[in-house]
Amino acid sequence: MGGRHPFLKNSVVIGAHPDDELLWFSSILRDVDEVVIVYRDFWAQPGLGGARSAAIADYPRANVTCLDIAESGAYGCADWRDPVLTEHGIGLGIEVGKREATRLARKSLSALRAIDGGRIASSSTAELYARNFTRICAALETRLRPDMNVFTHNPWGEYGHEEHIQVFRALQLLRDKIGFKLWMSNYCTERALPLAMRYFTDAPESYVRLPTDKAFAQEVADIYKKHGCWTWADDWSWFDEECFMPAPRAETPAAAHRHLFPLNFFTIGDGPQRKWLPIALTMSAASAAIAATIAESM
C-alpha cells in the first residue's frame, strides 16, 4: 500500500467485537498505532471469550488489545423502523421484553437443573446494555488523548448493530470531554438506513477515501476462523475502497437537499431467527414458555 495518510498520526481503531476491526477498517488496520476491541465474552456462548483471546494473542500486528467487557446481547432489540437514540446507545423495543421472559424462564429451570445455568445472563439485556455504556466510557477515558485520531463505528452501527451504536455514542461523549478527533466508517445496510439518513447534511462534507487491504484483512479473518470465533459470513467480499469522515456531533435537521459521503452499501440475509419466547401473561402462557425453553435447550 502507499504511504501512511496524515490522519493516521496518533491513531487508534476502536471496534465493538473481535472481527469488526477488519470488516469496517481494513484500509487502515495495518497502519494505525493501536487497535482496541471492546467486547469479549458473551453469556450465550461460554467458550467464545476464550477463543477471541486466543485469536487476539495470535494477531499478525502489535498493539491489539481488548477491554474485556461482556456483550449484553442487545443485537436485534431496537425498533429499526423508528429508531430512538438514548444516553446509553439506542432504545431497545419489545424484543428486549421477550428476551427477559426467556431469561427468567431459563433461570427458573436452571434451579431444577433442566438447563445449563452458565448460559443464562446474570441481568436483563436492558440492564447489561445500560451498564456497559458506563464501563466503556470508564475504560477508554484514561487511554484517549486530545491529539489522537480515533476511528470507530458510524452512528447507525453499519448494518444496525445496537452494540456498535453504543460504542459510537460512548466515544461521542468522550470526544466532547477529551477533545480528540473522531472518525466514522461508511458501511450501511437497508436495516440501518432510517437512522443513517438523520446524519445527511445540507452540504457535502470532506472525507478520506482509501483502498481496502484485502490481503491483510483475509489474513486476520483466517486467524479468527482458526480459533473458531469468526462471526461473519464465510463468503464476505471486501469492497475495493472505504471512506472515513469526521463523526457528526448530533443528528442534522431536515433540509431540501441533503448529502452523505459515499456509502459501502450492502445487504445481509435474514438467516434463521432466534426463537425468543413470548412474554408470559397467563399461567398457561408461562407453562408454554417453560416447555419451549426445555425443548430449545435439548
| 21's grid cell | 476491526
Stretch 127-136: mean pLDDT, rounded? 96
Q: Give the H or E element holding residue 265.
A: strand 264-265
Q: What is the dihedral of CA 19, 25, 27, 30, to 10 degrees?
A: -60
Residue 213 pLDDT > 50? yes
Residue 292 pLDDT > 90? no
The β-bridge partners of 265 are 188
Q: Which of 138, 154, 159 is nearest to 68 (CA)?
A: 138
Stretch 117-126: mean pLDDT, rounded? 67
* Average pLDDT value for the chain: 85
Residues 6+ apart with CB under 8 A from 186: 154, 207, 242, 243, 244, 245, 261, 262, 263, 264
pLDDT of residue 277: 33
Residue 155: CB atoms within 10 Å: 22
Residue 114 pLDDT > 60? no
Residue 159 pLDDT > 70? yes
Stretch 88-94: mean pLDDT, rounded? 93
Please, is 102 exposed, middle or buried when counting C-beta atoms within 10 Å of its C-beta (0-12, 13-18, 19+)? buried
Stretch 264-271: mean pLDDT, rounded? 80
Q: Which of 32, 62, 252 is nearest to 152 (CA)?
A: 32
The 3 state secondary structure assigned to 31-51 is CCCEEEEEECCCCCCCCHHHH
Stretch 275-294: mean pLDDT, rounded? 36
DSSP 8-state symbol, 242: E
Lowest mean pLDDT among 34-38, 98-102, 122-126, 195-199: 98-102
Q: What 3-state DSSP class applies to 183?
A: strand
pLDDT band at 104 (very low <50, low <70, confident <90, very high): low
**Interatomic CA distance for residues 122 and 157, integer angstroms:** 25
Domain 6-272 has CATH 3.40.50: yes
Amino acid making up residue 198 = R
pLDDT of residue 196: 94
Residue whose C-alpha cell is 421484553: 97
Please, is 280 exposed, middle or buried when counting C-beta atoms within 10 Å of its C-beta (0-12, 13-18, 19+)? middle
Residue 236: CB atoms within 10 Å: 13
pLDDT band at 256 (very low <50, low <70, confident <90, very high): low
pLDDT of residue 258: 74
pLDDT of residue 80: 94
Stretch 206-233: mean pLDDT, rounded? 97
Residue whose C-alpha cell is 467485537: 17
Q: What is the dihedral of CA 287, 293, 297, 298, to 10 degrees?
A: 40
pLDDT of residue 223: 98
Q: Where are the alpha helices (DSSP H) in 87-191?
A: 94-111, 125-141, 162-178
Stretch 78-87: mean pLDDT, rounded? 94
Residue 85 pLDDT > 60? yes
Q: What percent of the chain has pLDDT over 90?
A: 68
